[in-house]
């Protein structure tokens, strides 16, 4: 039976505000699972798929190095960007306008499978299939997460970064998929801690801007197929 996933489009939203909202949904799900185990409730958990864009922001994961941010606080302010040390896996990455950010908050144990590596590969596969819809062949690179174009060549370039957190098989954080991103902002970091590979966007690969909502719909379709879900729309309330 297909699992139900609530879809919310948060629009362009401050990173910290979206992070706080994720934490609220994540904590609610984890707390409910703990109550279930104690037989204090029979209420079921929910699954969520959050879409958004962020103003210019750099985020550093738990395994990242601060020196991979190549800017001072003053320089960050000059380019109107913010910086956060956060609780996902991975190193440093950039989010900004024109990038499709997806945060799945899923109860893997109840509805899907208990395998984080499989979960990560499914997220990558949803992006790979979305790119295939635009006649762009992409894939994975051994030893790295995310989605790459020409991944096993000297021209390897990353188009989608990933970083997740999980507790009690509940997920949060997710992917940053470069659609119409201003790639110059990646010049101020060592993206994902990888020094010898570049980044790209769907716009750069195709040679023209792409409608973000169109990409979102294609991604949703492939996500639903891979994870066997049905969607319900939920309006985000500020």
Q: 170, 184, 208: which is closest to 56 by C-alpha?
A: 184
Integer Cα distance of 85 and 60 in angstroms: 5
CA dihedral of residues 131, 171, 91, 121 (deg, nearest 10):
-40
Integer Cα distance of 173 and 159 in angstroms: 17
Structure tokens at 169: 């098989």
Q: Kindly name the residue from 192, 194, 224, 229 that is annotated as catalytic.
A: 192
Cβ-Cβ contacts under 8 Å for 74 (sequence gap 6 or more): none
Rounded to 5°, the CA angle 161-164-170 comes to 150
Whether 192 is catalytic = yes
Return the number of other C-beta atoms located less than 10 Å from residue 195's C-beta. 8
Residue 111 near residue 47, CB atoms below 8 Å:
yes
Q: What is the CA radius of gyration of the chain?
A: 18
Q: Which residues are catalytic?
A: 192
């Amino acid at each position: 039976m297909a699992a139900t996933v609530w879809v919310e489009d948060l629009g362009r939203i401050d990173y910290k505000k979206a992070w706080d909202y994720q934490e609220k949904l994540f904590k609610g799900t984890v707390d409910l699972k703990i109550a279930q185990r104690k037989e204090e409730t029979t209420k079921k958990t929910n699954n969520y798929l959050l879409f958004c864009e962020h103003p210019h922001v750099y985020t550093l994961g738990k395994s990242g190095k601060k020196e991979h941010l190549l800017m001072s606080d003053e320089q960050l302010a000059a380019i109107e960007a913010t910086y956060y040390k956060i609780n996902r896996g991975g190193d440093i990455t950039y989010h900004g306008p024109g990038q499709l950010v997806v945060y799945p908050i899923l109860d893997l144990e109840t509805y899907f499978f208990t395998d984080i590596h499989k979960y990560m590969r499914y997220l990558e596969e949803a992006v790979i299939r979305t790119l295939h819809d635009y006649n762009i062949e992409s894939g994975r690179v051994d030893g790295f997460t995310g989605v790459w174009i020409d991944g096993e060549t000297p021209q390897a370039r990353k188009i989608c970064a990933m970083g997740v957190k999980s507790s009690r098989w509940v997920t949060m954080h997710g992917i940053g998929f470069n659609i119409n991103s201003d790639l110059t902002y990646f010049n101020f970091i060592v993206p994902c801690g990888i020094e010898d590979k570049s980044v790209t966007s769907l716009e750069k690969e195709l040679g023209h801007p792409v409608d973000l909502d169109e990409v979102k719909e294609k991604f949703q379709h492939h996500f639903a197929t891979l994870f066997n879900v049905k969607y319900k729309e939920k309006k985000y309330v500020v």
